[in-house]
A and B are shown apart, each in its own frame.
Chain A
């Protein structure tokens, strides 16, 4: 199990996510805002590419391609001197972790990836065993924020007391490498910890807490009905639990909940009166960040205005 004191706050490469960039850019801005406020030393590289996650998990890219792309991003991290990768997307986290494991543990893969680099004249990308450590160099942004949660409590400005919120932890964070996360993987409490530190009243348990968001990569597209059914199941248990806000940690989940909630309401004839946010957006709000200029809440499909008004933010 990962320990909180093992989470670095220096030399973090804030790993951009395609889905954050294209759907909820406020997550990135809110994360930077938090990092700045929390005094975290980070860097964003314009050379860092997509992790391949989307293509990888729709069965398009081979593991070797994915691993080579990751090796390139590791070289980016290395070259800019920010070797601690902090992902905003849980799939980036999983992809990078697995690629790093392979590069360190499988000589044949490493040799093959490096030979591709050499063949293409990209010597500077060559990966040497141990360049990065899958356990001590690859993190989810939430872990970093979680490790500073005492500071958050001190800095919180918005009074969220009485807010009933629930957490949805990302599958590719806690189910992918359960032995390498903070806390018990059967009951991840990172989001709860951060939101709790900001004053929210977190639901201890709800039915289908561990159910996936339903996106399932290709599933949302090739089996849309099942995909939405899963999401609806989840929304139903949240409704029963009477929450106002669902917090997540991955743009894929975010799309599934926020973008699809109105679609589900229409298709299943149900109505949900709760809203969605990434935990970084929520923590930034708590610290007094602007809901639009920092958290980018205008990009959401489920309008947050009532929520913001209720807590005196707008």
Chain B
């Protein structure tokens, strides 16, 4: 199984952008891309359009015109994936879905890699813990913005969870199933190749050490706290009247 095969599903080769998008498994068969009447309901509803130069209607138009320049349009990275456009589109088109495929196409061409930099390690963390967390880089930024109270909370999290009678953060995955699935579906190869291209392009900003971070437990290796047995809530019932 090669990387290309996996890409095939998100961005299958097609005669045009529209064909690729329609054939992508990210979009349903019922997608009304060809039926778009350029009514602008999507743009009028779109938070990204309201606050940035992004315009989903135009994006659809450019896709239908097979204007590949759209992949280089930086506003492509402004979409919130909120699906408001999809909710409002009278033709059952979904700019939100279009953008998802377009970003994958852009990444394939090495465009927009800098937006991905700090997310590329999510897969490793997932494989190790079975859960996801905000990438460390951004955790650091959050710590900066939210200050000590949040950092303290993060430090106390295990204790709070214990008090609430909640189990371990990490999942039980003795067979390393998550890793196998990420591997088998080509995720690591994909992440690796993106990382390599990013390095090549020199756009990487690198990860700086963040003093707040060290205060946060569970960011590296699994720290099994309170691993409770499978089952119903076993916490104190005292509060039930």
Does A254 sit at the interface, judged by CB under 8 A? no
> Could you jot down 14 A-B contacts, CB within 8 Å?
A22-B131, A29-B164, A43-B231, A44-B230, A47-B171, A59-B104, A59-B119, A63-B10, A63-B25, A72-B177, A185-B87, A218-B115, A226-B52, A293-B236
Known A-B contacts A36-B233, A68-B181, A222-B115; the reply to A22 vs B51 at CB < 8 A is no
Pair B120/A60 contact, Cβ less than 8 Å? yes
CB under 8 Å from chain A, chain B span 86-128:
86-87, 100, 103-104, 107, 115-116, 118-120, 122-123, 126
List residues of chain B with CB within 8 A of the CB of A113.
Answer: 185
Pair B157/A22 contact, Cβ less than 8 Å? yes
Q: Which of A141-149, A195-203, A235-243, A294-302 is the interface stretch? A: A294-302
Known A-B contacts A101-B28, A263-B146; the reply to A214 vs B87 at CB < 8 A is no
With both chains docked as a complex, state the minimum distance between the C-beta of A264 and any C-beta of chain B, in angstroms. 10
Does A171 sit at the interface, judged by CB under 8 A? yes
Pair B80/A116 contact, Cβ less than 8 Å? no
Does B15 sit at the interface, judged by CB under 8 A? no
Q: Which of A25, A46, A52 contacts B132 (CB 8 A)?
A: A52
List residues of chain B with CB within 8 A of the CB of A61.
Answer: 123, 187
Pair B161/A65 contact, Cβ less than 8 Å? no
Pair B157/A25 contact, Cβ less than 8 Å? yes
Pair A48/B171 contact, Cβ less than 8 Å? yes
C-alpha gap A294/B235 in the complex (Å): 9
Pair A18/B47 contact, Cβ less than 8 Å? no
List residues of chain A with CB within 8 A of the CB of B115.
Answer: 59, 218, 222
Does B215 sit at the interface, judged by CB under 8 A? no
Chain A residue at minimal CB-CB distance from B126 = A50
Count class of interface residues, chain B: 35 or more
With both chains docked as a complex, state the minimum distance between the C-beta of A309 and any C-beta of chain B, in angstroms. 19
Q: Flag A217-252 by CB within 8 Å of B: 1 or 0 each.
A: 111111110100110010000000000000000000
C-alpha gap A229/B145 in the complex (Å): 15
List residues of chain A with CB within 8 A of the CB of B180.
Answer: 116, 120-122
Pair A218/B239 contact, Cβ less than 8 Å? no
List residues of chain B with CB within 8 A of the CB of A298.
Answer: 153, 160
Pair B87/A18 contact, Cβ less than 8 Å? no
Pair A221/B47 contact, Cβ less than 8 Å? no
Chain B residue at minimal CB-CB distance from A59 = B103
CB under 8 Å from chain A, chain B span 199-241:
227-233, 235-237, 239-241
List residues of chain A with CB within 8 A of the CB of B82.
Answer: 171, 175, 212, 216
With both chains docked as a complex, state the minimum distance between the C-beta of A258 and any C-beta of chain B, in angstroms. 10
C-alpha gap A191/B133 in the complex (Å): 27
Pair A47/B173 contact, Cβ less than 8 Å? yes
CB under 8 Å from chain A, chain B span 125-156:
126, 130-135, 138, 141-142, 145-146, 149-150, 153
With both chains docked as a complex, state the minimum distance between the C-beta of B128 and any C-beta of chain A, in angstroms. 12
List residues of chain B with CB within 8 A of the CB of A18.
Answer: 131-133
Pair A49/B171 contact, Cβ less than 8 Å? yes
Supplied contacts A60-B116, A290-B239, 11 more A-B pairs, CB within 8 Å:
A22-B133, A25-B160, A25-B166, A44-B231, A62-B6, A69-B178, A121-B180, A221-B134, A221-B138, A299-B160, A301-B146
Interchain pairs with CB closer than 8 A, number = 251
List residues of chain A with CB within 8 A of the CB of B100.
Answer: 59
Pair A25/B164 contact, Cβ less than 8 Å? yes
Known A-B contacts A65-B181, A65-B185, A68-B181; the reply to A259 vs B146 at CB < 8 A is yes
Chain A residue at minimal CB-CB distance from B183 = A120
Pair B171/A122 contact, Cβ less than 8 Å? no
CB under 8 Å from chain B, chain A span 25-71:
25-26, 28-29, 32-33, 35-37, 42-50, 52-55, 57-65, 67-69
List residues of chain A with CB within 8 A of the CB of B68.
Answer: none
Known A-B contacts A22-B157, A29-B164, A112-B9; the reply to A102 vs B25 at CB < 8 A is yes
Does A190 sit at the interface, judged by CB under 8 A? no
Does A130 sit at the interface, judged by CB under 8 A? no
C-alpha gap A185/B83 in the complex (Å): 12
C-alpha gap A121/B235 in the complex (Å): 36
Pair B190/A37 contact, Cβ less than 8 Å? no
Q: Which of A171, A210, A230 contacts B51 (CB 8 A)?
A: A230
C-alpha gap A250/B29 in the complex (Å): 28
Chain B residue at minimal CB-CB distance from A80 = B230
Does B14 sit at the interface, judged by CB under 8 A? no
Pair A69/B165 contact, Cβ less than 8 Å? no
CB under 8 Å from chain B, chain A span 95-127:
101-102, 106, 109, 112-113, 116-117, 119-122, 125
